[in-house]
Structure 1
C-alpha cells in the first residue's frame, strides 16, 4: 500500500515540475523583455536629447509626408481625431475609474489596487518626462490639429498602452480560451491605432510614439510582475500571464451573467420595438401637426406664446446663467456622461445586460424619434429672443427635455424595484421629476420652446419607455430574486 502511494507520488512529480519549469522560463523571458523595453526607451531618449541626425530626418520626413496626405482630406482628419479620443485623458480616466469601482463592488480589492497603481504611474510619468525632456512638437506645413505641452513621449501612446494593457490583464480571465487571441488582438489594434493617429495629425513624431509604447509596456510589465509577487506572498498558485492576473476572479470580472438573453424572444422583441417606434412617431407627428397648423388664434396658441414671453420679462444676468447651466443638464454631453456612469455601475452591481440595453435603447430611440419628429413637424421657435441662437432643429418636440425625461425615468424604473428595502431609492424618483422640470423651465426661459413642446417630450418619453419596458423586460430578474 505504501509502495503504491509512493509510486503515484513519484509519477506525479515530473508533471508538477514541468509547469514550474515553464513558469520559471516565462518569468525570466518576461524579465528580459521588460529590461529590453526599458533599455530601448533609454536609447531612444538619448538619441532624441542628442539630436541624432538620422532619427531627426526620419521623424521630420514621416511628419511631413503624413501631413501632405491627410491635410487635404477633412473626413480623414475627423476620423483620426475620433480614434485619438480613445487615448485621451478623459476616456482613460473614465475607463480606469469605472473598472476600479466595479472591482471594489465585486470585492476584488487587489485588482482595484493594481489598476489604481498602474494608472497613477501613467499620470505621473507623462508630464514629468515631457517637462524634463522639453521636446517641441512637430511643425508641419498645414496644421490640422493642436495639442498642449511638449512632445516626447506621446502621452496618448503611453496612456493607451498602460490602460488598455492593464484592463486586458484584469479582464482576460473572463474571456474564453478560444476567444482570448481575438481579445488581445483587438486591444493591441486600439493601442496601435491611437499611436498612428497622433503621428498622422502632426502632433507627435514617430519616436515620440515609439517611446510612449516602450515605456508603457515596461511599466505594465513591472506592475504585472509586482502583482504576481504579491500573489505568491499570499499563497496563491503561480499562473501564466496569458491567463490574466487573477484567473480565480473570472466570475467576478465577467461583466454580466453568462447565457443571459438580451431579449426574451429576440426576433419578436425586435419587431415589437420597431413597431412601437413607428407608433410613437405617429403620435408625435399627429400632435405636432395639429399644434403647428390648427391652433393659430386659439387659446392654445396664445398660451404657447404667452409663457415664453412672460419668462422673457423676468430675465436677469443671474437667471440667464442659472438657466444656461440647467439647460446644459439636458444636452448630449451631460446625458451621455450620466449614461456612461450609470450603465457600467448597474452592470457591476446586478450583472444583467438587459438594464444596459434598456437605457441604451431608450436614449437611441429618443434621439431618433426627436430628430425625425422635428424634421417632419418643422414647428417654428417661440416669437421671443432666443438666448441660445438659431438652432438647426425645429421647436417640437424638445430634444433636451425628452432626453432628460427618458434617462432619469429609465433609471428610476430600473432601480426602484431593486432597492425596495432602502428608503433613499425615492431619490431617483425625485431626480426623474426635478431634472426634466428644471430643463423644461430653463428651455422656455431661454426662448427655445413652447409649453406644448414639453407636452411632446412627455408623450415621447411615456410612449417609448412603455414600448421598451414590455419588449425588453428589464426587471424580469427582480421577480426571480424576490
Structure 2
C-alpha cells in the first residue's frame, strides 16, 4: 500500500513544483483582467486619457499612408474569425484523423470558450469603439475586449501548445517567439486602425492568457490522472504525440533534386506562357472568317438571347464556385487533409504550385493578349482583367483536376470516382455560367483548358505528387487499413 502511495506522490510532487508558478500566473492574469474591466466600466480618468490619446495619435500617424493601412489590414485579418475558425477546424480534423482525441478536445474547448467569452463580455461592458478624426475602417459591435486580440491569443497559443512536440528542441523557442510576435502585431493593428483602445487589447490578452492557462492546466491534470508525467511548457501538451502531430513525419525529403526541378518549372512556365500568347493572339485578332470567329460571335449572342431571372441566379452561383475565394477555400481545406491522411508534403506542393502557376500564367497572358470582353451586355459589370483566358475556368480546372490526380491512385474505394465527376462537372458548370453572363468567349474557355493541361502536365512530370504510392506499390490509405486488418486476423488465428 505504501508503495502505491509513493508512486502517486511522486508525479503529484513533480506536478505541483512545475505548475505552481504557472497557476499563480493564470490567477494573476485573471485578477489583472478583472481590475482592468472595473476601470473601464467606471471610466477611470487616467485610463480614459491614455486610450483616447493613443487612438488620436495613431490615427494621425497611420491615416495619411494608404500602403501602411493595406499592410495593417492584411495583418489584422490573421486574427479574424474566419482565419481562426479555419485554423482550429483544420487542426481538429487532422488530430481526429491521427487519433489524437484528447488534443482535439482541448482545441475545441479552448476555442469555443474564446468564442463565448468575447460577445458575452462585450455585451456586459457595452463600450463604444474609438471615434477618430479620419476613420480608416468601420467595424460593428462593442469595443471591450478586442475579439481579434482575444481570438488570436487563444487560438495561436493553443495550436502552439498542441504542435510544439512536432518541432525539434532547437526550434521550439523560436516558434514561441514567432507566435508571440504574431499575436502582438494583431493586437497592435487593432489599435493602429482605430477600431480598439489600448485597454481593449490589453484586456483581451489578459483574458486570453487566463483562459488558455485554465484549459492547459486542466489538460495537465488530465495527464496526471492517467499516470503520465507533466511536461515543461516548451515540450508542449503531449510530448508522446510528437510523431502523430507532425505534418509529414514519414517523408524524408520532398523533392530529390530541387534545383533541377526549379529550373524545369521556370523554363516550362515560359513555354506555357508562349503557347497561351500565341493561341490568344490568334483567336483574338487573327481568326476572322474561321470557325473560332463564328463560335465567339454566335455563342455569346445565343446566351444573351436566353437570359431569364432564374438562369441569372443559377449562373451567378456557378460563377462564384470558380472565383478566387472559393478556389482558395477548397485548397486550404484539401491540403491539410492530405497531410493528415497521407503524411506527405509532395501532394501539397503539387496543389500549391498548380494554383500559383495558374494565377501567374492567367495574369501574364491576360495582360499580354489584352482581349476585350464579348460585345454583349454582361451581368457582372466592368472587370479589371481582359477576357483571354478565363481565370475562373482555369482555376476551377486546375484545383479539381489536381485533387483528382492525388486522390485517384491513393484509394480503391468507390468514392474516388466522385472526384473524377467533380473534375468534369465543376469546370463545365463554371464555363457555361461565365459565357452565359457575357464574360467570356468560347475560345477563352479553350485558353483555360490549354493553360490547365500544359501546366498541370508539366507539374505532374516534375513534382511526381504520387511517387510514394507507386514506389510502395499500393495506395497509402489502403496499406494502413490492410495492415490493421492483418493484425486483427493474426489475433483471431492465435489459439485461445
Secondary structure of 1:150's counterpart equals coil
Q: How does 1:44-63 map to 2 (within 5 A)?
A: 44-63=36-55
1:103 and 1:305 map into 2 onto residues whose CA distance is: 53
Secondary structure of 1:474's counterpart equals coil
1:432 and 1:244 map into 2 onto residues whose CA distance is: 41
Divergent runs of 4+, >3 A: 19-23
Q: Does 1:468 align with 2:459?
A: yes
Secondary structure of 1:386's counterpart equals coil
Aligned residue for 1:412? 404
Deviations 1:163-210 (A, max 9, x none): 000000000000110111110000000100000000001111100100
2:376 and 2:89 map into 1 onto residues whose CA distance is: 44
TM-score (norm 2): 0.92
Q: Does 1:398 align with 2:367?
A: no
The answer (yes or no) to whether the contact 2:393–2:431 under 8 Å persists in 1 is yes
The answer (yes or no) to whether the contact 1:38–1:215 under 8 Å persists in 2 is yes
Compute the displacement of 1:285 (Å).
0.9
Gaps of 5+ in 2: 1-5, 475-496
The answer (yes or no) to whether the contact 1:158–1:213 under 8 Å persists in 2 is yes
Secondary structure of 2:409's counterpart equals coil
1:451 and 1:259 map into 2 onto residues whose CA distance is: 43
Q: 1:179 is matched with which residue: 167, 171, 177?
A: 171
Q: 1:265 is matched with which residue: 257, 279, 286?
A: 257
Aligned residue for 2:478? none
Compute the displacement of 1:20 (Å).
7.5
Q: 2:430 is matched with which residue: 435, 439, 464?
A: 439
Aligned residue for 1:387? 379
2:308 and 2:372 map into 1 onto residues whose CA distance is: 25
The answer (yes or no) to whether the contact 2:14–2:230 under 8 Å persists in 1 is no
2:434 and 2:145 map into 1 onto residues whose CA distance is: 45
1:446 and 1:176 map into 2 onto residues whose CA distance is: 53
Secondary structure of 1:379's counterpart equals coil
Compute the displacement of 1:257 (Å).
2.8
2:146 and 2:354 map into 1 onto residues whose CA distance is: 38
Compute the displacement of 1:293 (Å).
2.3
1:374 and 1:31 map into 2 onto residues whose CA distance is: 59
The answer (yes or no) to whether the contact 2:323–2:392 under 8 Å persists in 1 is yes
Q: How does 1:104-123 map to 2 (within 5 A)?
A: 104-123=96-115
Q: Does 1:292 align with 2:320?
A: no
Q: How does 1:13-24 map to 2 (within 5 A)?
A: 23-24=15-16
Q: Does 1:377 align with 2:356?
A: no
1:50 and 1:26 map into 2 onto residues whose CA distance is: 38
Q: How does 1:10-409 map to 2 (within 5 A)?
A: 23-257=15-249, 260-409=252-401
2:423 and 2:250 map into 1 onto residues whose CA distance is: 32
2:421 and 2:293 map into 1 onto residues whose CA distance is: 31
Aligned residue for 1:479? 470
Compute the displacement of 1:21 (Å).
5.8
The answer (yes or no) to whether the contact 2:251–2:345 under 8 Å persists in 1 is no
Gaps of 5+ in 1: 1-12
TM-score (norm 1): 0.95
1:307 and 1:259 map into 2 onto residues whose CA distance is: 49
1:339 and 1:465 map into 2 onto residues whose CA distance is: 15
2:471 and 2:229 map into 1 onto residues whose CA distance is: 37
Secondary structure of 1:423's counterpart equals coil
Compute the displacement of 1:302 (Å).
1.6
Compute the displacement of 1:25 (Å).
2.6
2:256 and 2:431 map into 1 onto residues whose CA distance is: 36
* Alignment coverage as a number of residue pairs: 467
Aligned residue for 1:453? 444
1:249 and 1:423 map into 2 onto residues whose CA distance is: 32
1:67 and 1:382 map into 2 onto residues whose CA distance is: 45
